[in-house]
A = this chain, B = another copy of it.
Amino acid sequence: MTKKKAKIVEEDGCQVRMIHLDRVKRARDEAIPEKEMRRLALIFKALSDPTRLQITLALQGGEMCVCDLAAMLNISESAVSHQLRHLRDLALVKTRRDGQMLYYSLDDDHVADLVKIGLNHVRE
């Protein structure tokens, strides 16, 4: 049995406890770039809110306009618009204008994939 004790390491002027130097090192080496990591977190965050998740699920069935989404979700059109802007900023949805109406649809195949895999998980 390996009985290890934490090693105190000086790092960035701070005392850091570390037990498996090799694992910490490996994890740091394998870490993805900061930028990708933040972006990835934002994608997940987009799907982490019930309203946005429901919007995403609804749009998998085809494009919809703001007021239909609001009616379906039973919240104000303003709230829907705010959330759609959020999704649009992340390029997860796109719009098509037809007269006075804006139709929103999914702009990313991976988003649908993420939701499907997530659903499999939840349903097990």
Indicate with 1 or 0, residue by residue over A86-112, a CB within 8 angstroms of chain B CB atoms. Answer: 000000000000010100000010110
Q: How many residues of A contact B (CB 8 A)?
A: 65
With the chains together, A115 CA to B41 CA distance in Å?
Answer: 10
Instruction: Find chain B residues with CB under 8 A from A49 CB.
Output: 41, 45
**Copies of this chain, count:** 2
With the chains together, A120 CA to B121 CA distance in Å?
Answer: 19
Which DSSP category, helix, strand, loop or mixed, fits chain A's interface? helix
With the chains together, A11 CA to B37 CA distance in Å?
Answer: 43
Q: Which of B11, B70, B108, B118 lies in contact with A121, CB distance below 8 A?
A: B108
Task: Assess the A68–B118 pair: CB atoms within 8 A.
Answer: no
Instruction: Find chain B residues with CB under 8 A from A28 CB.
Output: 72
